[in-house]
A and B are shown apart, each in its own frame.
Chain A
């Protein structure tokens, strides 16, 4: 027995749910199929230990597009982001640096390491705000295809060109630097203190298989400045109830518009007939039909598993195969029986209610990457830790806390081969706990439960190929009109009536929701649905 839907969306991650909500809102009959028992994909909260709700993979919300919140009424469905006020850097020598929303307070903190840097900080912000305008223009629209001569493409190119031109020559040149330089080289243009540059530079490497000195990592620094353009002082925050809260709100919104959502419904393959997608085959053998199929999976899975090589022509197959997804990060989630206090700045004050970086120097970060390049996980890793339970008491029992550690580098391709990751899982977890314990005395005695996720686990559990948290590396040749592959960058695939709406499409990456939204809008605008 099969039902006829306007669209079936494979994968109930936040992008799939947003795409569903937009289509349902426009009156379409939509079904979302999620393999797991929980919705959210990588933006998921799970109670892995009684009373502790972990944001298993994604742990903070950064550039979630504010217009999506407005257009889908997400606040009504429980969406709530609690902004982070502080970026805290504990140092091994007992010192520490906290950067605050209050500019004078930050200036004083940074002055202890470099007065020049403290005073240059506002100049840097000024320039980055300008650059952010350009980036916002890019992420809020489908990427124009620069190789096309169609009027529509040329118009959107011209729109971009106008923003570019408005920057003036100096900022334009700086923009070239921003796109091509390493995060460290870019920061070197302004700052001298390692203690400031190291924690700033890491935003350039999160989720990438790059080091802070790798060319092309600078542009992600922009993300910190785009929050302002979105009308909020800070763009980073915790989602109420964990990052799964975002997905649940999106799911509620989709349902409110009439979308149907099924969990524990794994799709085996897209049913392709005469070169057209007509439905999906579930792992249990059921077949469901729809006019349009939308995949929220990464490009690798979409093309090679859902479609299958036999339906791809040679050029497309070649491009799909060269799409790079080398995952580089792991996750260690800890349930603690008390507040983890840092020896360099004790207490449970505001300094540990934001994001905490283990990034004491640029050399430290770069050496962490060097190990990964040769197929080992970092013995001295970069860790981005958060304690969401301090800000959102709903995620842990009273007095107890969650310490969530995002860890780099844990390369998917270890020397012995990715499938051997399970052998190293606990050693990897120990490395992370040992590293954190250097800053948090007694940490090991506080641990009630520990979850270690290697890139292999991310692949096995979340369906992220090679454990890549962005569904594909964010290097320039895989962005814009080349994401995921040139010619099929606008949410379309090479198979008729089959679309993509995940992070593997433009603009990709993070809990932004933009891919899902733009996919739905592109489909609706082109009257494909």
Chain B
């Protein structure tokens, strides 16, 4: 029986479609309208407001907070500056990913960590010897993501912060009418956007302020269906879809290293010991078995297959997350991997996917075959190996009105 986030009084009223999902034990709107297209375009054209309360949230405080987190994370958190956010993952001793999330350094000795799975226990296993307190604030803290081209303008209306100079992956504590919030310029849509964290008690004030000020900027509550499309366009992986928590994976083959899920860039190997260091060092020298790549699926071929049946291409408007085999040739014999999520991208007018394929097939521009079932018959379509990030607008990271450099 899922529980309700602090925004539920608003989201439940707005959710005309009655389409809900369970996300980490919370009710989460799949889409507010029957069709989620408008919500997708809100993210890409104006601003979408998404309830992200179901994420797990932890506060790590104390003189050893930075070294403690450095021991857990694959990234050297002690290098993270105050007011900055980083994205990374954390691993088992075997160098297999447990979860991924963001780490925000709110103060010299105070960090805020988000994760997809409950990680309190995992983190607390490493407390021995560190002068630090770990607090699970998941149930006390409400959060929203405001994402889209007009989000900065809405944020400016609501918050006191200097948003023109607020850089990508920064965080700051700020005030709005009557409440305090931590904001960060982060998100899961690959667009200009912010995430805002408040006490549960202030959740409705936050929601109302954003919706009220956002009206002029075409704000719209958005659900997970729209988010899923944008995150595939942005090449952002999702736990339990594109990889599995190594602590819960039943067999070793279901575990992945950071290198295998396109998070190799987050690993800082040469420093004090951290979880998985030895295994990751070995893998970085010996090479990985798998890689996550983007697939750009040939539209003309898809059209041609459908045409054989006298059909127009019937590509659903939802992002999908079933595992689909990927081959090197059309004979369906030499499987080299599997696509884990994909979507039709309305912006790019492309059919795109994320796939885990054997490392030796991950060169950009090379071609593979992806299975596609049309009228109950299996076919393949050619897909070009691409970076996972298909969509990356300049506005995501830029500060056009910055007064400081």
Instruction: Point out residues on A near B: beta carbons under 8 Å.
Output: 102, 104-105, 107-108, 115-116, 118-120, 122-123, 126, 129-130
A116 touches B25 (CB 8 A): no
* Structural contact, B124 and A116, CB atoms closer than 8 A: yes
B371 at the A/B interface (Cβ < 8 Å)? no
Neighbouring B residues of A108 by C-beta, 8 Å: 3, 25
Query: Which single residue of chain A is at the shortest CB-CB distance from B252?
Result: A168
Chain B contact surface mostly: loop
Within B288-322, which residues are at the interface with A (CB < 8 Å)? none
Chain B residues in 8 Å Cβ range of A102: 1
**B248 touching A126, Cβ below 8 Å:** yes
Q: Give me 19 A-to-B residue pairs in the complex whose CB atoms sit less than 8 angstroms apart, sorted by A's number.
A: A102-B1, A104-B2, A104-B22, A104-B25, A107-B25, A107-B118, A108-B25, A115-B118, A115-B120, A116-B120, A116-B121, A119-B119, A119-B121, A119-B122, A120-B121, A122-B247, A123-B248, A126-B247, A126-B250
Expressed in whole angstroms, the Cα–Cα distance for A439 and B22 within the complex equals 34
Considering the complex, give the chain B residue whose CB is closest to the CB of A102: B1
CB of B136 closer than 8 Å to a CB of A: yes
Determine the interface band of chain B, counting residues with CB < 8 A from chain A: 10 to 19
CB neighbors of A among B24-42 (8 A): 24-25
CB-CB under 8 A from B118, the residues of chain A are: 107, 115, 118-119
A122 adjacent to B248 (CB under 8 Å): yes
Contacts of B120 in A (CB 8 A): 115-116, 119
For residue B122, which residues in chain A have a CB less than 8 angstroms away from its CB?
119
Q: Give 1 or 0 for each of B86-123: 1 = CB within 8 Å of chain A CB.
A: 00000000000000000000000000000000111110
Binding site for A on B (CB under 8 A): 1-3, 22, 24-25, 118-122, 124, 136, 247-250
Complex CA–CA separation, A107 to B120 (angstroms): 13
Closest to A122 in B: B248
Residues of A close to B3: CB separation below 8 A: 108
Q: Which of A104, A107, A120, A129 contacts B250 (CB 8 A)?
A: A129
Q: Which residue of B lies closest to A103 (CB)?
A: B25
Interface class of chain A by DSSP = helix
Q: Tell me the smallest distance from the CB of A349 to a CB of chain B, in Å.
A: 11
Q: Are A104 and B248 interface neighbours, CB within 8 A? A: no
Which residues of B are found within 8 Å of A107, using beta-carbon distances?
25, 118
Closest beta carbon of chain A to B92's beta carbon, Å: 11
**Residues of B contacting A104 in the complex (Cβ-Cβ under 8 angstroms):** 2, 22, 24-25
Could you tell me the distance between the alpha carbons of A524 and B186 in the complex, rounded to whole angstroms? 69
Give Cα A366 to B124, complex, Å. Answer: 30
CB of A34, distance to nearest CB on chain B (Å): 44
* Least CB separation from A127: chain B residue: B250
- Nearest chain B CB to A98 CB, angstrom units: 11
- Interfacial chain A residues near B136, Cβ < 8 Å: 115
Q: Please, which residues of chain B bring their CB within 8 A of the CB of A129?
A: 250
CB of B361 to closest CB in A, whole Å: 29
Docked complex Cα distance between A107 and B2 (Å): 11
Residues of A close to B1: CB separation below 8 A: 102, 105
Known contacts A115-B120, A126-B248; 13 further A-B pairs (Cβ under 8 A): A104-B2, A104-B22, A105-B1, A107-B25, A107-B118, A108-B25, A118-B118, A119-B118, A119-B120, A119-B121, A123-B248, A126-B249, A126-B250
B121 engages A115 (CB within 8 Å): yes
Please name all residues of chain B whose beta carbon is closer than 8 Å to the beta carbon of A105 when the two chains form the complex. Answer: 1, 25
Interface centre among A104, A120, A129, A130 (most CB of B within 10 A): A104
CB A121 to nearest CB in B, in angstroms, measures 10
- Compute how far the CA of A439 lies from the CA of B31 in the bound complex, rounded to whole angstroms: 45
A123 to B122, CA, bound (A): 11
Q: Which residues of A contact B248 (CB under 8 A)?
A: 122-123, 126
With a cutoff of 8 Å between Cβ atoms, the chain A residues found around residue B247 in the complex are 122-123, 126
Q: How far is the CB of B25 from chain A (nearest CB, A)?
A: 3
Q: How far is the CA of A130 from the CA of B124 in the complex (A)?
A: 26
Residues in chain A near residue B119, CB distance under 8 A:
119
Residues on A with C-beta less than 8 A from B250 are 126, 129-130
Q: Which residues of A contact B121 (CB under 8 A)?
A: 115-116, 119-120
Which residue from chain B places its CB closest to the CB of A350 in the assembled complex?
Answer: B1
For B121, give the chain A residue with the smallest CB separation.
A119
* Residues of chain B with a CB closer than 8 A to A119's CB: 118-122
CA distance in complex: A104, B118 (Å):
11
Docked complex Cα distance between A151 and B1 (Å): 54
Nearest chain B CB to A364's CB is how many angstroms away?
A: 26
Give the Cβ gap from A181 to chain B, nearest Cβ, in Å: 21
Q: How far is the CB of A117 from chain B (nearest CB, A)?
A: 8
For residue A142, give the distance in angstroms from its CB to the closest CB of chain B.
Answer: 28
Whole-angstrom distance from the CB of A454 to the nearest CB of chain B? 41
- Taken together as a complex, chains A and B put the C-alpha atoms of A130 and B250 apart, in Å, by 8
Q: Give Cα A118–Cα B120 distance, bound, in whole angstroms.
A: 10
CA distance A126 to B247 in the complex (A): 8
Kindly state the separation between the CA atoms of A464 and B120 in the bound complex, as whole angstroms: 49
A171 to chain B, nearest CB (A): 11
Chain A residue with the shortest CB-CB distance to B245: A122
Q: Please, how many angstroms separate the alpha-carbon atoms of A126 and B250 in the complex?
A: 6
The CA-CA distance from A104 to B249 in the complex, in Å, is 17
Task: Name A118's closest neighbour in chain B (CB-CB).
Answer: B118
A88 to B139, CA, bound (A): 24
Q: Within 8 Å CB of A118, what residues of B?
A: 118
* 10 interchain residue pairs of minimum CB distance: A104-B25, A119-B121, A116-B121, A119-B118, A122-B248, A123-B247, A105-B1, A115-B120, A120-B121, A126-B248
